[in-house]
Copies of this chain bind each other. A is one copy, B any other.
């Protein structure tokens, strides 16, 4: 994984552990609910990862976009499918979403390089 994504993942892991160790029951329960929201349910987990990506993009949160793109790539979405979802985000959210589109495309590219490296 690229150094940008590795740093994001490492910081995310370290701080999530500290938050959960912090002992606030409400926060711990929220984290559990958050994880559960993307599990198989009436909708497939794979579909819900895409919902998470679009929600993150229109709310303009790069860390959330990165997290959900990682999940979406793992779930098997193609570049064309991710772009089609990001197009919905762009239409709904407008040009203010474009900087996050640039970030998202770079993240997808970094993950594909990583996949290509592992396949060699």
Contacts and interface: CB of A to CB of B under 8 A. Distances in A.
Interface in A24-53: 24, 26-27, 29-30, 33-34, 36-38, 41-43, 47-48, 50-52
Contacts of A36: 26
Given A56-B92, A63-B99, A47 B48 contact: no
A92 B36 CA distance: 12
Given A64-B99, A84-B48, A89 B22 contact: no
B83 A22 contact: yes
Contacts of A63: 99
Interface residues of A, number: 61
A81 B43 CA distance: 6
Given A42-B84, A64-B96, A91-B95, 12 more contacts: A15-B106, A24-B83, A26-B36, A30-B87, A30-B95, A50-B51, A51-B89, A52-B88, A54-B54, A58-B59, A61-B99, A64-B95
Interface of A: 11-12, 15-16, 18-19, 22-24, 26-27, 29-30, 33-34, 36-38, 41-43, 47-48, 50-52, 54-56, 58-61, 63-64, 78-81, 83-99, 101-102, 105-106, 109
